[in-house]
Structure 1
Amino acid sequence: MTRIAVLGSTNMDLVAYTARAPGRGETVTGREFRTIPGGKGANQAVAAARAGGEVMMIGAVGDDAYGTLLRDGLEHAGVDTDLLHTAEGPSGTAHIVVDDTGSNAIVVVPGANGVLTALGPGEIAAIAASELLLMQLELPLSAVVEGARAAHAQGVRTILTPSPVQPLTDELYDHIDLLVPNEHEAAELSGQDEPHAAAQILLRKVPEVIITLGAKGCLYAARGGEPVLFEAPSVTAVDTTGAGDTFVGALAVALGEGRPVAGAVAFASSAAALCVQKPGASTSMPYRSEIEAS
């Protein structure tokens, strides 16, 4: 079983479903509201656990009711929460609008996630004992850099989802093995709108890149090799929230099991395709048996 540490955020997703997202200054009427455990870190942890990984969550929740629910949700998914700290104040929240096309717009309020600015001996030891470390950018960048540095020093493979996108330091790039941006994030980081061009720029910073392209699949590129475009399964999307995190969590499990890139991407793409056919993020993530049967 692949041992995966996830250094990342835990948020409560407050999701409003509506025919179309409101424009600036506009009010629209929604048809449904849901409160769903989320956060990019927690989502990747749940996705990896359901896909068959042994997962440790490193992060923080608040001492409010959301914090209790978020911890319970992770534990129910089989994620180890011994290093999920409880901080004074509110838990992180994500305010999400989902329209009838399945597209979403998200505002994240960090809450307790913002207190994790550095890692302690327990976190460093947990990373060192893992095979892969998954990271995102909903925690303070100082903690992400420290985690990546610790993993790199111990030969632990590092995977970064650069979301929400922001300029990254050379120190962080130096400790990333695989960068997994979406098309928008890749363009922001590289200054190139075209994915192939963006990948070539990013390969100057990291050894491997997978740019996710939604329904168009994903582009894999590595130093010294030709880029490969992998198509996504054709499905009708209900809600794309959490699809990228599902992809990364399942991808980490597959890579940890030693699958070649093509096989790992196929496994991850199947997981993401199953995710978008149901509403919600963590609640829609498939189990390994479902992925293998798809």
Structure 2
Amino acid sequence: MRVAAAGDNCIDVYAAQGRSYPGGNAVNVAVYLRRLGVDSSYVGAVGDDAHGDLLRRALEGKGVDTSHLHVAPGSTALTQISVVDGNRVFGEHAEGVMEQFRLTADDLDFLCGHDLVVTGIWGHTAPDLATLKARGATIAFDYSDQAEDPVVEASLGDVDYAFFGLETDDGDDLRAFMRRAQARGPACVVVTLGARGSIAYDGAGFTLTAPVAGEVVDTMGAGDSYIAGFLTGVLDGRPLAECMARGAASSAVTLTYPGAW
């Protein structure tokens, strides 16, 4: 099985600790999939600077296929990060060359050669979802915490697995939202709830999974690693509850160290 992750990347800068780590939603998922034994590729854009070289080398060091990593004149995306009581807090973000990133015809051909394509709301890929879907791609999309973004309504019909990270469970309102979202097309809608675990809706009912208990050093990448774990279950044809349990187990590993990976 091969999975392609397309979209955003960045260097996460922990200024207070004097450290920087490669990251970004699509990049993280690609790396976590490799950690879980799945062949993965990354499609995105970095600058022709030292940060771009760092990110490329780091991905290749993890065994991720970077044959469709674009290198453009300019700066690689940077995000300022602080950690408060173990929780990552995002500061200023400079998108750099990713601001102009768009999938090429060659990228689309490459993505369609994989068993699953995973991308997200920050990756500038939403306009191409309909094309990918029409060509037979299975698509997982991370909407992050942007439940009200117009991209949600515009893209759900082309998404097979929709992920949201909403942190809090507001009961009936959340479940109503998930029902509406799933009715638009996805086989399953999954909401991660931070320390409260996750909830999924597949049209038949709601399934809840608790987080795996353990040390929390840094929450950076926890949601992305959940997605990667969940998708290994999808690739293996496992029941929804097992997919969610795999997501929780993968996330628990990421919580134990600083940075995404």
Question: 2:258 aligns to what?
Answer: 279
Question: 1:13 aligns to what?
Answer: 12
Which whole-Å CA distance do the structure 2 matches of 1:185 and 1:219 have between them?
11
Q: Counterparts of 1:103-114 in structure 2 under 5 Å?
A: 103-107=87-91, 108-114=93-99
Query: How many residue pairs are counted as aligned between the two chains?
Result: 257
Q: Unaligned 5+ residue runs, structure 1?
A: 17-29, 283-294
1:7 shift after superposition: 0.9
From the superposition, tell whether residues 5 and 244 of structure 1 become closer, same or farther in structure 2 (CA, over 3 Å).
same
Which whole-Å CA distance do the structure 1 matches of 2:34 and 2:168 have between them?
26
CA contact (8 A) 1:83 1:123 kept: yes
Question: 1:260 aligns to what?
Answer: 239
Question: 2:139 aligns to what?
Answer: 158
Which whole-Å CA distance do the structure 2 matches of 1:93 and 1:57 have between them?
18
- 2:150 alignment partner, one of 162, 167, 170: 167
- 1:93 alignment partner, one of 78, 83, 94: 78
Which whole-Å CA distance do the structure 2 matches of 1:272 and 1:169 have between them?
24
Write the deviation string for residues 143-195 of structure 1: whole angstroms up to 9, x where unpaired.
Answer: 3221x2233113221111113623216441210111110125998xxxx8843
Letter in 2 for 1:145: P
Stretch of structure 1 that moved more, 87-96 or 245-254: 245-254
Which whole-Å CA distance do the structure 1 matches of 2:168 and 2:127 have between them?
19
Which whole-Å CA distance do the structure 2 matches of 1:156 and 1:226 have between them?
26
Q: State the TM-score, normalizing by the size of structure 2.
A: 0.91
Match of 2:67, SS state, is: strand
Which whole-Å CA distance do the structure 1 matches of 2:29 and 2:169 have between them?
19
Question: 1:115 aligns to what?
Answer: 100
Question: 2:22 aligns to what?
Answer: 37
Which whole-Å CA distance do the structure 2 matches of 1:273 and 1:194 have between them?
28
Instruction: Report % sequence identity.
Output: 28
Question: 2:217 aligns to what?
Answer: 238
- 1:52 alignment partner, one of 21, 28, 37: 37
Letter in 1 for 2:251: A
Question: 1:292 aligns to what?
Answer: none
CA contact (8 A) 1:186 1:198 kept: no
Question: 2:197 aligns to what?
Answer: 217
Question: 1:286 aligns to what?
Answer: none
Which whole-Å CA distance do the structure 2 matches of 1:193 and 1:78 have between them?
43
Q: State the TM-score, normalizing by the size of structure 1.
A: 0.82
Which whole-Å CA distance do the structure 2 matches of 1:151 and 1:264 have between them?
24
CA contact (8 A) 1:162 1:185 kept: no
1:271 shift after superposition: 0.8
CA contact (8 A) 1:186 1:199 kept: no
Question: 1:251 aligns to what?
Answer: 230
Letter in 2 for 1:120: T
Q: Unaligned 5+ residue runs, structure 2?
A: none
Match of 1:203, SS state, is: helix
Stretch of structure 1 that moved more, 228-237 or 35-44: 228-237
CA contact (8 A) 1:6 1:41 kept: yes
Q: What do you get for the CA RMSD once the two structures are aligned?
A: 2.0
1:129 aligns to 2:108 (yes or no): no
Which whole-Å CA distance do the structure 2 matches of 1:169 and 1:210 have between them?
14
Structure 1 stretches of 4+ with a deviation exceeding 6 A read none
